């Protein structure tokens, strides 16, 4: 088999319906379906993104808790959507010369995204 020639692993994240597509291939390959991010996992991922944006996320702060909740509502914990949303957040912060990431910034960034259901 061609896939056995190389020592390469591939992770596909955030593609709804991917498990149905992969079911058509031989079952001897390892597959793992990731659940949507929630709670501490979501906060940890967002803290890493906040750090890349030059900010600090404090989940105990009411304002940051509202921001985390807004991201969770908008993305449903989907990692791929979170990544796209953070790209738009960066854009909103730069365009408006803002220095704080709030729920309003998240909602504004969401307005620039096309998110299907």
Residue 8 has pLDDT above 50, yes or no: yes
Q: Where are the domains of the chain?
A: 39-111
pLDDT at 1: 43
Query: What topology is assigned to 39-111 in CATH?
Result: Helicase, Ruva Protein; domain 3 (1.10.8)
Output the CA torsion sign for 48, 11, 115, 41: negative
- Rounded mean pLDDT of 16-25? 72
Evaluate if pTM is beyond 0.95: no
Element at 47 (helix H, strand E): helix 39-52
Say how far apart CA 76 and CA 53 lie, in whole Å: 22
Reading the block at residue 103, the tokens are: 């729920």
pLDDT in tens, 37-85: 888 999 999 999 999 999 999 999 999 999 999 999 999 998 889 999 9
Say how far apart CA 43 and CA 68 lie, in whole Å: 7
């Amino acid at each position: 088999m061609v896939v056995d020639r190389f020592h390469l692993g591939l992770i596909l994240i955030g593609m709804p319906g991917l498990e149905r597509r992969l079911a058509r291939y031989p079952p001897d390959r390892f597959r793992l379906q990731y659940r949507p991010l929630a709670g501490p996992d979501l906060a940890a991922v967002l803290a890493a993104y906040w750090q890349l944006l030059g900010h600090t996320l404090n989940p105990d702060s009411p304002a940051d808790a509202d921001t985390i909740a807004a991201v969770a509502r908008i993305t449903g914990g989907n990692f791929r959507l979170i990544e796209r949303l953070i790209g738009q957040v960066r854009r909103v912060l730069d365009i408006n010369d803002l220095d704080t990431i709030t729920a309003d910034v998240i909602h504004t960034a969401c307005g620039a995204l096309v998110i299907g259901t």
